[in-house]
Structure 1
Amino acid sequence: EGIVAVIFKYCDDHKLPLLDLKDFKKVLQYATGEGKKEFEESYGRIATSSTGAILRKVIELEQQGADLFFGEKSFDVNDLTRIDEEGRGMISIIRLTDIQDRPKLFSTFMLSLLAEVYATFPEQGDSDRPELILFIDEAHLIFKEASKALLDQIESIVKLIRSKGIGLYFVTQNPTDVPDAVLAQLGLKVQHALRAFTAKDRKAIKLTAENYPISEYYDTKEVLTSLGIGEALISALDEKGRPTPLAATLLRAPMSRMDVLTAKELEEVIDNSKLIQKYNETIDRESAYEILNEKIEKAEAKARKDEEEEKATTRTTSSRSRRSSSRQNPVVKVLTSATFIRGVLGILRKAMK
């Protein structure tokens, strides 16, 4: 977390846009590679082992499709609060069926969505009506295989997001799929039938029953297993924020078609969407990846030039040294010749004797 904070600080200080995962990876590699000295001078030493661990996590997300999913264009949460020509709110469906079998990517997306909503919407306090309601289906996928850090972040956002006028509904088959810290923040609880086929199921039903207010009228564990289609146990909050007594209710079936859209119907919906042109486009602007690559290329070119100049200087020095050694110093030459002559004369003198 500390290293990631340093990476963001470096990019802010040097005006390097972080727009997608490849930008983040590039800065991470630069911090312990070509830019190691630069980082150490301003931000302290960054261990290669730490950046390696972060990089492996990023690659794991990339393998699940996050490189495209978190690229541009970024999802605009204000599109969730659109209204039609008559001033009525619109229901937006974010269809994530292609990533539901990728739990890390799914939970990371949901955290980023909630964080973006929290950062974008202003404080409202106790407003008359919510600004936005989010229903998160298959909610267990958010928490499945999520790290403790991720769970802590989700818990914090769930606690704070209500002040923004945002309502959250986690839809899942069993309340035990949701962590206790998150479950404790949910005021409205609607529980359909649970079936006990195993000892583990009976334990889950007991835990579920304990999540509801104690009732003098129902044996909660028994009612949960006897509910039929269109029946549910409900507990909400009253005007003063107190849990209402538990009530077994009948639900009115929705007056609409309850079915999966065919491929043709889905295509028609997408083609008629006003948002299709906004999001159905891949953009790869100049960002940290391109800027750092250019910086590295310039540094490498300069290094090659310096190396060539150094080699040229070395060759010149070596050439001069060879030339000077082949041309003897006149004084040395005279002394050498005199020594030779003296030696020859000495031999001749001995021979003449």
Structure 2
Amino acid sequence: MLTENGVFVGGGGDLYATPQELLLKYGNRHGLIAGATGTGKTVTLQVLAEGFSTAGVPVFLADVKGDLAGLAMPGNAAGKLHEAFSKRAATIGFDLAYRAFPVTFWDMFAEQGHPVRATVSEMGPLLLSRLMNLSEAQEGVMNIAFRLADEEALPLLDLKDLQAMLVFIGQNAAEIGLRYGNVAPATIGAIQRQLLVLENQGGAKLFGEPALDLADIMTTAADGRGRINILAADKLMASPRLYATFLLWLLSELFEELPEVGDPDKPRLVFFFDEAHLLFDDAPKALVSKVEQVARLIRSKGVGVYFVTQNPTDVPDVVLGQLGNRVQHALRAFTARDQKDLRRAAENYRANPRFDTETAIKEVGTGEAVTSFLQAKGAPGMVERTLVRPPASRLGPITPVERAEILRASSLGQKYDAPIDRDSAHERLAARAARAANDAAAGAAPEEASREFANARRYGGAAGAKTAKPAKPASRSSRSDSIAETFGKSFARQLGTKSGQALVRGVLGGLFKSR
């Protein structure tokens, strides 16, 4: 499974190459696993995850179909599958020994793993705009919301905080427009509708606290093996934009938070991005540039990123050029476009005089691949035909009982399972509105007393004057009032009317609360 210098991937036989390995020294130079459906990409991902874990490298991956959960259990040493695995192991000279690996399960919906969360502030306006497919004007308003939240000390932690912030902007659009540009009510409404869609897709469960601590996905087990973090993504894939945005956020956090380590002997973390085409489908140029920047620079943080997709053309050339370690399973060439993609895939490999790369990519069977791994000094290795080794862990899903036992044994449940709703933008804006309402009510009482004093003098003479003293008029709003105070007083002026009461119920009771 693991040689002295690298991860054993597969080997040969009469038609195949000498044993192929991914050198740990170049594990942070990123990689690609590609191939048509049913050609063995998931098993290859599982094999690489096992190898990195054995080398003491933590792994993060998304389990799109539920198959990768089998990493937590040893393979079955019986049956036809075992016979096939034993035969292949003998062919490539691999000592097959079944065993389980240290696994931590995560799930955005908190059903198949520990909850995984991020705050709205951590996600940022660019990724949120991509997540909600906002227009340029709507993205501009999102940037205003984040800027004002910083200036007014209003933490944006969950969706109701962002919803409250947008209401705040709408209430003060005139003043905000003088500083940041026009903010149209229709734009605010469009963003609120997209937030509602995101909430209905499960996005409300992603945003909040406790947010994921990167240190918790970069741990090793007691025996020194790297912990394999598995994100349950079978349900999440129903919202592909949410899936892709979350994984990109996690990559960005790793890039921004981890210190530089240069070229380590082995990666600090390996990140597998399954269904990678979802990241680039209809992606704006700014987003593709961000991915390219992360892929180019995150290796110096000791992080290796491996994209898993059906066709190499799913990955933009600026990103594809950063992927040095490649496993290409079979591609089908039924149409003219398929044939063109096949030729492009073959051109990305260093040619081998023993066979034609394009023909090999068409001919390799399930569990076979053409591979190219970085060699000494980071040079691309010659393309080779390779029989991928069988996994040591279970091939396929685990039972709900087995998953529940693993979750109970995890110490992270105490940290993440219970959500925290601390004081943030929603609560602070509501509190300011309540204070402004109280101030307005207190200001109305003296004015009423003053009117009574005047009536007493008019109708009751001196006796009335003794019992009623005029009060100081309520002070006018200062020009130095903050935007938040102006927002609160605007609320207060509307409290005495039925429309104002309806507005308060609708805004503070409806928009701010989770649906």
Fold conserved (TM > 0.5)? yes
**RCO higher in structure (CA 8 A, sep ≥6):** 2
* 1:129 is aligned to 2:129: no
Corresponding pairs, count:
323
- Residues 47 and 160 from structure 1, CA distance in 2 versus in 1: closer, same or farther, beyond 3 angstroms? farther
TM-score, normalisation: structure 2: 0.57
Code of the residue aligned with 1:21 in structure 2: it is: L
Corresponding position of 1:17: 155
Corresponding position of 1:297: 434
- Residues 291 and 100 from structure 1, CA distance in 2 versus in 1: closer, same or farther, beyond 3 angstroms? same
Helix, strand or coil: the match of 2:153?
coil
Aligned residues of 2:173 and 2:184 also touching (Cα < 8 A): no
Corresponding position of 2:168: 30
Aligned residues of 1:103 and 1:144 also touching (Cα < 8 A): no
Correspondence list, 1:1-353, <5 A: 1-33=139-171, 35-36=172-173, 39=176, 45-306=182-443
Code of the residue aligned with 1:4 in structure 2: it is: M
Distance in 2 of aligned mates of 1:106 and 1:129: 28
RMSD: 2.9
- Residues 184 and 15 from structure 1, CA distance in 2 versus in 1: closer, same or farther, beyond 3 angstroms? same
Helix, strand or coil: the match of 1:193?
coil
Aligned-residue offset at 1:232: 1.0
Aligned-residue offset at 1:214: 4.2
Distance in 1 of aligned mates of 2:316 and 2:458: 79
Aligned residues of 1:104 and 1:146 also touching (Cα < 8 A): no
Helix, strand or coil: the match of 2:371?
strand
> Could you list the per-position Cα deviations for residues 270-289 of structure 1 after superposition, in whole angstroms to 9, with x for gaps in the alignment?
22222122221122111111
Distance in 2 of aligned mates of 1:205 and 1:76: 41
Aligned residues of 1:131 and 1:166 also touching (Cα < 8 A): yes
Code of the residue aligned with 1:15 in structure 2: it is: A
Identity %: 43
Aligned-residue offset at 1:224: 0.7
Aligned-residue offset at 1:147: 4.5
Aligned-residue offset at 1:155: 2.6
User: Which of these two proteins has the greater Rg computed from alpha carbons?
Assistant: 1
Distance in 1 of aligned mates of 2:349 and 2:458: 94
Deviates more, 1:48-57 or 1:7-16: 48-57
Aligned residues of 1:104 and 1:145 also touching (Cα < 8 A): no
Distance in 2 of aligned mates of 1:304 and 1:36: 25
- Residues 239 and 282 from structure 1, CA distance in 2 versus in 1: closer, same or farther, beyond 3 angstroms? same
Aligned-residue offset at 1:82: 0.9
> Could you list the per-position Cα deviations for residues 47-71 of structure 1 after superposition, in whole angstroms to 9, with x for gaps in the alignment?
4344444434433322211111122
Corresponding position of 2:125: none
Aligned-residue offset at 1:308: 6.4
TM-score, normalisation: structure 1: 0.80
Aligned-residue offset at 1:316: 7.3
Code of the residue aligned with 2:151 in structure 1: it is: D
- Residues 93 and 61 from structure 1, CA distance in 2 versus in 1: closer, same or farther, beyond 3 angstroms? same
Deviates more, 1:78-87 or 1:121-130: 78-87
Unaligned runs of 5+ in 1: 324-353
